[in-house]
Structure 1
Amino acid sequence: MKNLNINKLVKASLFLAIAIVFQVIGKTAPQISQFFVGPAINAVLILTAAICGGVFGVLVGCLTPLLAWLTGQLPSAFGPFIPFIIIGNILFILSFVIISKRGKYGKYLGIIIGAFIKYIFLWISASKLITLFQLNIPAKIANKLVIGMGIPQLITALIGGAFALLLIEILRKRKVYV
Structure 2
Amino acid sequence: MKNKTLWITQTAVLVALIVVIQAFTASFGNTFITGSFVNLILILGVGLIGLWGGLSVALLSPIFAFFFKIGPTMWQLILCIAIGNAVLVLVWWFVLGTHGYNQYPRLVGATIAGAIAKALTLYLLIVKFMVPLILQLPEPQATVVSATFSYPQLVTALLGGAMAVILMPQLRRILKIKLEM
- Shorter-chain TM-score tier: 0.7 to 0.9
Distance in 2 of aligned mates of 1:68 and 1:170:
29
Residues 151, 177 of structure 1: alpha-carbon distance in 2 compared, 3 angstrom cutoff:
farther
Q: Determine if contact 2:19/2:65 at 8 Å carries over to the other structure.
A: yes
Which residue pairs with 1:36 in the alignment? Answer: 33
CA distance in 2, matches of 1:17, 1:165: 22
The structure showing larger relative contact order (alpha-carbon pairs under 8 Å, at least 6 residues apart) is 2
Q: Number of aligned residue pairs: give it.
A: 173
Rounded Cα–Cα distance in structure 1 between residues aligned with 2:66 and 2:163: 24
Query: Can you list the C-alpha shifts for 1:28-77, whole angstroms capped at 9, x where unaligned?
Result: 232x3x1111011101101111111111111111111122222222232x
Between structures 1 and 2, the one with greater helix share: 1
Alpha-carbon distance in 1 for matches of 2:23, 2:141: 22
Identity, % of aligned pairs? 26
Match of 2:141 in 1: 141
Q: What is the alpha-carbon distance in structure 2 between the residues aligned to residue 138 and residue 125 of structure 1? A: 18
Query: TM-score, normalising length from structure 1?
Result: 0.87
Indicate the RMSD between aligned Cα atoms, in angstroms.
Answer: 1.9
In 1, are the aligned partners of 2:48 and 2:172 still within 8 Å (CA)? no
For residues 62 and 113 of structure 2, the distance between their equivalents in structure 1, rounded to whole angstroms, comes to: 21
How far apart, CA to CA, are the structure 2 residues paired with 1:131 and 1:156?
21
- The equivalent residue for 1:96 is 92
Alignment of 1:28-177 (within 5 A): 28-30=27-29, 32=30, 34-76=31-73, 78-101=74-97, 104=103, 105-130=105-130, 133-173=133-173, 175-177=174-176
Residue 134 of structure 1 aligns to a residue in which SS?
A: helix
Unaligned runs of 5+ in 1: none
Q: Which runs of 5+ in 2 are unaligned?
A: none
